[in-house]
């Protein structure tokens, strides 16, 4: 391994085999190796992961699946070039959209899980599959326990809820909606420049009710109820 393979250095633009190596916070470094085949130990060494036995090395396959790479195990950088090196002494397995993954921490946010399977856009939400219960929608900033009761299973789907604006239902596929967008859905859509008062109820747990000022947006929830009126009128 040459100097370009050391932690913090960039790819070897003169040649070599680059790898993306990330940590638990999804901060990645591009590291380049002289050889196409490297060991898990070399991957960890490249980001100064010491002592080696206190870290877990994960290889992310082109399918987005994650699997443990042992220190003496060899991988081919022409086939797998994204890795994680994270402190831990083992992993917890979970499944997302049928893909097998593992992670050395007991919790992950929904946003992190979506990122791991390449579905981190605003139009996708994560659901936890539960036995004898409806699937649970997990908010992006909500932490999910993956190391508590066997193999947890999740799935993703495109977002889409029904919101009520002045008693009229509307389908909405974004995770948030703005003041201007609510006005556009209301009976006042032809008069966007008039100042309006927007209130809502039945919102998400963190803010089930409140006001939506001009220039702001709010996270939506299925069945959320909005009321729009010109300011000064009830």
Beta bridge partners of 218: 177
Specify whether 186 is located in the same domain as 203. Answer: yes
- Band (97; pLDDT cuts 50, 70, 90): very high
| DSSP per residue, 44-64 | HHHTT--SGGGEEEEEE-TTS
Specify whether 128 is located in the same domain as 99. Answer: yes
Percent of the chain with pLDDT over 90: 72
Q: How many domains does the chain have?
A: 3
CATH number at residue 143: 3.10.20.30
- Band (113; pLDDT cuts 50, 70, 90): very high
Domain ends where: 100, 127, 159?
159
Q: Quote the pLDDT of residue 222.
A: 87
Domain ends where: 28, 62, 89?
89
Specify whether 84 is located in the same domain as 14. Answer: yes
- Band (49; pLDDT cuts 50, 70, 90): very high
- Band (234; pLDDT cuts 50, 70, 90): low
pTM check: above 0.85: no
Q: Which of 67, 41, 46, 62 is nearest to 3 (CA)?
A: 46
The residue segments making up the domain with residue 205 are 161-230
């Amino acid at each position: 391994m040459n100097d370009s393979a050391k932690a913090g250095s960039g790819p070897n633009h003169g040649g070599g085999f680059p790898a993306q190596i990330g940590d638990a916070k999804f901060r990645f470094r591009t590291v380049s190796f002289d050889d196409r085949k490297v060991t898990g130990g070399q991957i960890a060494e490249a980001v100064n992961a010491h002592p080696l036995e206190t870290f877990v090395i994960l290889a992310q396959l082109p399918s987005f699946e994650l699997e443990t790479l042992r220190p003496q195990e060899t991988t081919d950088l022409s086939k797998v070039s994204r890795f994680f090196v994270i402190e831990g002494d083992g992993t917890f397995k979970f499944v997302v959209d049928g893909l097998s993954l593992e992670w050395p921490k007991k919790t992950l946010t929904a946003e992190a899980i979506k990122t791991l399977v390449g579905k981190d856009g605003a139009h996708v939400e994560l659901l936890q599959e539960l036995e004898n219960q409806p699937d649970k929608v997990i908010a992006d900033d909500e932490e999910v326990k993956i190391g508590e009761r066997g193999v947890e299973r999740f799935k993703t789907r495109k977002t889409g809820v029904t919101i009520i604006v002045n008693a009229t239902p509307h389908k909405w596929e974004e995770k948030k909606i703005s003041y201007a967008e609510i006005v556009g859905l209301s009976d006042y859509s032809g008069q966007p420049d008039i100042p309006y008062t927007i209130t809502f109820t039945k919102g998400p747990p963190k803010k089930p009710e409140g006001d939506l000022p001009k220039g702001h947006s709010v996270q939506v929830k299925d069945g959320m109820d909005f009321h729009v009126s010109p300011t000064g009128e009830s």
